[in-house]
Structure formats: C-alpha cells, structure tokens
Structure 1
C-alpha cells in the first residue's frame, strides 16, 4: 500500500473511535410557548393560524408576532419553482426573511390564501401536511390568481405544535395540481 493511502487509512481509523466518543450534536429547545394556546393546540389549528395570519386585504397590516409564534426557532420557509431556463430552484428563508420579502407585496396587492384540500400523515411527534391552497387578492374575486401545494412539517414538543418548515410550489401549466390533492 502506498504511504499516502496508508496514512489516510490510519487517520480515518484513529478518528472513528474519537468521533464515536464525542457528545451528540446540541439540540435546539424551543422557547416558552409564545403562541396563543388555540393557535398551537393541534395540527389543524396551527395550519389554520398560518393561513389566517398571512391573509388580508390590501393595506391591512399582518400580525407578524403571531406569525413568528407559530414557527420553531429552527424553522424555514422554502418557495420552489423554475428559473428562466426551466431549471428547478428553491430558496430557504427564515420567518423574519419571509416577512421582509413578502410584506410589501401583501400590503400592496392584498393576499388571501386558503386551504382547499389536505392530506396528513403523523408518526409520534412529527406530522407532514400536504395542504392544497388557492390565493386571491380579495375574497370577492371570482377566481384565484394562484393555486399550489404547501408541504408543511410540524413538530409537537409535548406542550404544543410548531411549524418546522413550509415548502411550496405553485401550480403551473407544466405542473397542474394532481387530482388526489384536490377537493
């Protein structure tokens, strides 16, 4: 065996036991529940609160403290779609970055997002919600200007439900909503 390969094997062999003895990675414990108890009491409640807090007419301020209270400290929001060349893209933002990016549009245009169908799966403390949505500028609009699917991951810490992530894709002509995700 060449000396450089032998040295690499020895380093890896010696490092493996050391790595096994290191303490586990730190966990992030959520702060004391800041959400209204009704908002975090069940998966249905936290998802309903999410839709409620981002929705409103043009010029209507959103309750961003309520919005923040729904999300675990490690949470991310991830819009996905395609770039101009048709390649898939995704962006990961914190709840505060979402607020900074979205608030001007929400205030200017009006934005009402509502769930029209849901599929959920739960195991212990974790839950995955496929939430089909439609979006209107005003509740009186005859038709939505967008539809899509929110993939929402939830976590229960023993006291309440938290949103860990919201990952979504809007419907497009190339990616229509599948029948099984519609009402």
Structure 2
C-alpha cells in the first residue's frame, strides 16, 4: 500500500515525519495522556507504515518471557482499555540513532508516569526501526522491554 506525500489536512503530522527525533517525540505524544482522555490515534496511525508491527516483551508469572506482536490497530485495541482507566505519560530520557542510507534504528530509553509530576512507574527501552520513503520517515517496527530485576541498560 502506497501512501501519498504531504497531506493537505494535517501539515503538523507531515512535519512530524521529516526528521528522526521529531517522529520519535510524536510517538510518545500520541500515547501519553490522562486517564479517560482518548489518544490521538489518527496521528499515531499516520506515523506508522501500513505494515508496521509492535512487539511487547511480557514476563510470565514464573519469570519467563514471551513476545506479543501487534499490527497498528491491534496495539491500539490492546492499550485503549488501560489508557481509559489510567493516566500514562511516557517520556524519552535518552536516545541513540544509527542510520545507514534510508534506514534508521533508534534506541529510545523512556520513563513512564501516571501524571507528568508523579513518580516513575516504569523505565525501559524502545527499539524503533524507521525507513525514509516517499519524502518522509515511517515507523516500521517498535520493540520494547521494561526494566526489571536482572534487566537493565548495559551499553549506552
């Protein structure tokens, strides 16, 4: 599926896709907000390639892990009930970008809070893969894991 270049109706969204730090910041803005306030899913979808995937690492009761993989609409369906009941503000605290031609990989460390001024409820890292196509950056995949016993940032 090909998407058009600059849209007529959302010039700010187009600006979100013109450089790597801006598209990453836009992702965090889309998923952050107070409990019960709908997120800007139209903007979120605009940032994602039509075939984009997300992968969340889940820790089982026994301490093992497994991956849960979503397409864009699957991710939205999964997190919407949580966001309806809970405030969630995820902010980037560190970023490392590696780029080769039209492909980029971003390590984005984050902290999450229930409100902008509340204590940190979790930290983790997003691995975000991007591709520059049709005059803009697209998110192709996002893989993340949260900090926990035995899992912390090693090389930065």
> What is the TM-score with the length of structure 1 in the denominator?
0.78
The aligned counterpart of 1:127 is 104
Distance 2:141 2:19 in 1: 16
Q: Report deviation, 1:32.
A: 1.3
Q: Which has the higher contact order (CA 8 A, sep 6+)?
A: 2
Look at both structures and tell me which one has the larger radius of gyration over its CA atoms: 1
Gaps spanning 5+ residues in structure 1: where? Answer: 1-28
Q: Does the CA contact (< 8 Å) of 2:131 and 2:138 recur in 1?
A: yes
1:30 aligns to 2:30 (yes or no): no
String of CA shifts for 1:96-145, please: whole Å, max 9, x gaps: 0111110111121110000000111000010000000000010110x210
The aligned counterpart of 2:66 is 89
Q: Report deviation, 1:94.
A: 0.7
Distance 2:126 2:58 in 1: 13
Q: In the TM superposition, what are the counterparts of 1:136-147 in structure 2 within 5 Å?
A: 136-141=113-118, 143-147=119-123
Q: Does the CA contact (< 8 Å) of 1:30 and 1:72 recur in 2?
A: no
Q: Which runs of 4+ in 1 moved over 4 A?
A: none
Indicate the structure with greater helix content: 1
Structure 1 residue corresponding to 2:49, chosen from 72, 83, 98: 72
The aligned counterpart of 1:171 is 147
Structural RMSD (CA): 1.4
Q: Report deviation, 1:84.
A: 2.2
1:149 aligns to 2:125 (yes or no): yes
